[in-house]
Amino acid sequence: MTGLKVLAGPREVAKRIDQLKLSAELGGATEHWSFAPEKALTVDELRAVSQVLKEPETRLVHELFWFWPEKYPEDDPADIATGLLAKGETQQVIEYWEDLAIDNGPVALHNLAVLYHHQALELDRLESPADQDLAQLWLKAIRSWDRIRVDEAIWARLRARVTALADARIPMEMVGQMRTTVPDALGKICAALALGHGEQGRAARGGLHAALVMHIHGGNTDARRALETRAAPIARRIDARINESKNRESPDDTNELAEALALIRANDDDLHLIEILCGRTAEYYREISQSVADTALNCVVSYQRRTGDDCGCLPALLHLVGMETTPELKLRLSDTYRIVHGNAISGQHRIVPERRLGPMADEIEMSDYEKDYALLKDHVIPALPGLQLGKASRAAFSDRVAGMLKDLAFGIYRENDNFTFAANAFATAMELPCSPAGRLSLENDRAKLQNEFETRKGKELRLAAAANVLQINAQGIDFNGRWTAAADLAGLRHKSEGGGGLSGATHVIAWRTTGGAEVELNRTNLLAPSDHTAQDYARILDAIYFFFVPDLVDRLVAAIRRGEEVLIGETPVKAKGMVLASPARFGARDELVAYSALEYKVEDGQLSLSSTLNPWLSDSYVVADTWNAVIFQQLIEAVQRE
């Protein structure tokens, strides 16, 4: 700030301050020295500087954090670096120190630590520096100070400086204290910067400095303490607001929902600051977030019980569900949202209990996608501006709503094949002020849905031959008016056998339902021999395997794991293996063969099952005549997966 040498004595300091004051009063030309302030100091600022330099202990700390001459603590008028600094030849002095540091010169190492620290602070003052460059420079400075702290030669020089000053106000123990507390000093600097950036809305930069504090202290208790110290005044502000809300008189006409929203708005920015400083998973942050969420939830529940305004409660509850709380409160929030959301969907009001709700005896089926979409579009999304959340919370809220719209889109498309509705749900989600990551995820999911739609359309099938009509889509199969829903398909078999010419070729595709009804396509109906029968056969199987086989396999596996009877021919399929028969069949000779010992193969249209441990145990079936033998491999592989 003054351009003084670090060893300047009282008279030199006083003379320099007077010169700068006179220059400031007369508006004289600004002097230039290395690392000089961008603007000349005012008279008041110079007076404050003078006062600091008169305090011996403070002055010694400033000396540690500034550039030393090569012979420090001895003064040397011919010191090269001091002369270069005075003339503003910064790059030359940096190169000079770097050359000396190659030989581990203690003063050069010290001065480079100060330099890197100064450069990091200067870069940090810019509006939008490159994050990577800033992080690397701070790490470079921190590593340099770590090296300084363990370099005995540097601290010996500082002790010699204290001896030379011979000032009773500076005990020799102070040098040891300074050495020990260098990490604390760096941590406090970074914690202050984290808070400052957070208050300016620069969350990423604030998070960087909070991470640097953890790096400096190795993530231990000292790091948490440094960050929590900065967060403590913010936490006290939040506690005061919570107490005001709890203690406020509540006449009968009080709008408890408005009280909850006011509490959320008032504390949102402060909670975000504590999150930046301490991290979202920190116990300190969770306790404070829990207090806000619990108080606000009580207000919302009271309002809901009194008014039955379920739609009005949803936006506040949706925000509270995303807050960091204990598992118990998170469960209560989730249950409360579930009841209120169900009320809004059904139009039937139920009161939210005061305590943990537990499993619901009458779970609300969220199958009416149109109502759910209308609820989000007409009540939740329009309430977002009124919540007046900070930028981070607004983005988190939007991400949450966008995720719900995405689930609606995929759900109604996959269950009801309604692509128009799904596209509208995604269009609504894209209008929300989501986070960059949330928007990217949304765009990827929309592209996934579009691709799935185009693939499905390509697999859908309609074939007609004479009076026979077959239609296949994601919902099921319709053959001549006999409808089989996708979820009702329980078995599949098919075969294609060549013959002498078209008239001798045989193609069969059959399926059966969970109710036992069977439908078969063969040469008597849709697969009568012709020049395109083989192609039709392949297209039908392609559609069936695309739309229905994966779900059929999943349902069969679920039944097997529940212990229900699932057969391939007459062979039971179990969770741990298959029950094969002995040819002798004397008594109860069937045994469970573990999958690790099961051998199976398909040759000449025959599925053969046997045990590698007992060759007498075996079964054999004609694939084309045995239900689900054609998907045997998929089924067995799925059963063995956890």
| Residue 418 to residue 500: CA distance in whole angstroms | 46
Could you give the dihedral angle defined by the CA atoms of residues 235, 239, 245 and 246, in that order, rounded to the nearest 10 degrees?
150
- For residue 505, the number of C-alpha atoms closer than 13 Å in the C-beta half-sphere is 15
pLDDT score recorded for residue 642: 67
For residues 593-597, average pLDDT:
94
**CA torsion sign, 30 to 36 to 37 to 41?**
negative
| Residue 169 to residue 57: CA distance in whole angstroms | 7
| Residue 213 to residue 231: CA distance in whole angstroms | 13
**CA torsion sign, 39 to 45 to 50 to 51?**
negative
pLDDT score recorded for residue 622: 95
Instruction: State residue 388 phi and psi, 5-degree precision.
Output: 55, 45
Please calculate the CA angle 410-416-417 and round it to the nearest 5 degrees. 70
pLDDT score recorded for residue 545: 95
Give 263: exposed, middle or buried? Use CB within 10 Å, 0-12, 13-18, 19+.
buried
For 338-362, what is each residue's pLDDT tens digit? 999 999 988 877 777 765 554 443 4
**CA torsion sign, 173 to 179 to 182 to 13?**
positive
Q: Decide which of 542 and 75 is more confident.
A: 542
pLDDT score recorded for residue 38: 80
Three-class DSSP category at 168: coil
Could you give the dihedral angle defined by the CA atoms of residues 482, 486, 487 and 493, in that order, rounded to the nearest 10 degrees?
80
H/E element holding 415? Answer: helix 391-416
For 362-390, what is each residue's pLDDT tens digit? 443 445 788 899 999 999 999 999 899 98
Q: Which of 239-253, 278-292, 397-411 has the lowest mean pLDDT?
A: 239-253
Q: What is the CA radius of gyration of the chain?
A: 38
Q: Decide which of 36 and 151 is more confident.
A: 151
Three-class DSSP category at 141: helix
Query: 560-640: same fold as 460-547?
Result: yes
| Residue 141 to residue 186: CA distance in whole angstroms | 10
Cα 103 to chain centroid distance, Å, stands at 47
The yes-or-no verdict on residue 406 having pLDDT over 50 is: yes
For residues 310-324, average pLDDT:
94
Look at domain 560-640 and name its CATH class: mainly beta
| Residue 183 to residue 594: CA distance in whole angstroms | 62
Nearest to 148 by CA among 194, 186, 188, 96: 186
Q: Which of 48-52, 221-225, 452-456 has the lowest mean pLDDT?
A: 221-225
For 11-28, what is each residue's pLDDT tens digit? 999 998 898 888 888 876
CB neighbourhood size of 468 (10 A): 15
Alpha helices in 54-151 (DSSP H): 56-64, 80-86, 90-101, 106-124, 131-149
| Residue 505 to residue 538: CA distance in whole angstroms | 14
Structure tokens at 178: 């300074």
Three-class DSSP category at 75: coil
Nearest to 309 by CA among 388, 385, 379, 259: 379
**CA torsion sign, 121 to 127 to 130 to 131?**
positive
pLDDT score recorded for residue 505: 78
- For residue 629, the number of C-alpha atoms closer than 13 Å in the C-beta half-sphere is 27
Round the average pLDDT of the chain to a whole number and report it: 89
Please calculate the CA angle 404-406-408 and round it to the nearest 5 degrees. 70
The yes-or-no verdict on residue 314 having pLDDT over 60 is: yes
Strand partners, 602: 607
Contact indicator for 351, 336 with CB cutoff of 8 Å = no
3-state SS of 271-327 is: HHHHHHHHCCCCHHHHHHHHHHHHHHHHHHHHHHHHHCCHHHHHHHHHHHHCCCCCH
Q: Decide which of 433 and 504 is more confident.
A: 433
Banded model confidence at residue 68, pLDDT cuts 50, 70, 90: very high
**CA torsion sign, 590 to 591 to 596 to 597?**
negative
pLDDT score recorded for residue 468: 93
Q: Domain coordinates of the chain in residue numbers? A: 10-216, 248-453, 460-547, 560-640
Alpha-carbon distances of 142 from 15, 203, 422, rounded to whole Å: 35, 22, 52
Q: For the chain, what's the residue count? A: 642
pLDDT score recorded for residue 494: 95
| Residue 54 to residue 61: CA distance in whole angstroms | 12
CB neighbourhood size of 445 (10 A): 18
Q: Please state which CATH number belongs to domain 460-547.
A: 2.30.29
Nearest to 213 by CA among 268, 269, 276, 128: 276
pLDDT score recorded for residue 352: 76
> What's the predicted TM-score (pTM) here?
0.68
Three-class DSSP category at 610: strand
Alpha helices in 548-609 (DSSP H): 549-561
Q: Which of 52-61, 413-422, 466-475 has the lowest mean pLDDT?
A: 413-422
H/E element holding 512? Answer: strand 506-513
pLDDT score recorded for residue 109: 93
| Residue 324 to residue 284: CA distance in whole angstroms | 11
CB neighbourhood size of 579 (10 A): 16
pLDDT score recorded for residue 365: 43
| Residue 70 to residue 76: CA distance in whole angstroms | 8
pLDDT score recorded for residue 221: 86
Structure tokens at 13: 């300091």
Nearest to 310 by CA among 280, 270, 281, 350: 350
Strand partners, 609: 600, 619
Banded model confidence at residue 483, pLDDT cuts 50, 70, 90: very high
Residues 6+ positions from 449 with CB-CB distance below 8 Å? 409, 410, 413, 422, 423, 426
Give 197: exposed, middle or buried? Use CB within 10 Å, 0-12, 13-18, 19+.
buried
Contact indicator for 246, 286 with CB cutoff of 8 Å = no
Banded model confidence at residue 616, pLDDT cuts 50, 70, 90: confident
For 167-186, what is each residue's pLDDT tens digit? 999 999 999 999 999 999 99
For residues 590-616, average pLDDT:
91
